[in-house]
Structure 1
Amino acid sequence: MTKQTKKTSHEQTRKPSKRERRQKIIVYVMIIAMVSTLLTSGLTFIL
C-alpha cells in the first residue's frame, strides 16, 4: 500500500511557474481551435 502524504500549506499555495502557465494557455488555445474547427466544418456541411 502506498502512503498518502498531506500537502503542506506551502505546496497548496504555490504559484505556478511561467512554463506551467504557458503550457496551460497553449492547451486552452488548442482546445478552442479544435472546437471552432468542428463548428465551422459542421456549418459548411449544413450549407
Structure 2
Amino acid sequence: MAANNKQHQPTKKKKSKREKRTKAVIYLMILSMVLSTLLAGASFFL
C-alpha cells in the first residue's frame, strides 16, 4: 500500500522540454487528423 501511495502524490517538478515537445507534437498530429477528416468530408459533399 505504501508503494502505491507514492504514485498518487502530485509531483512538483517542472516538465522537461522533451516532454513538452512530445505533448505538442501529439496534439498537432491529432489536430491534423481531425482537420483532414473534416476536409475530406467537406470535399465529398461539395
Secondary structure of the 1:33 match is: helix
Q: Does 1:24 align with 2:23?
A: yes
Letter of the 2:4 counterpart: Q
Count residues in correspondence. Answer: 43
TM-score normalised by L of structure 2? 0.79
Structure 1 residue 13: Cα displacement: 1.2
What 5-or-longer segments of structure 2 have no aligned partner?
none
For residue 46 of structure 1, what is the aligned residue in structure 2? 45
Q: Which runs of 4+ in 1 moved over 6 A?
A: none
Q: TM-score, normalised by structure 1?
A: 0.77
Question: Gapped runs of 5+ residues in structure 1?
Answer: none
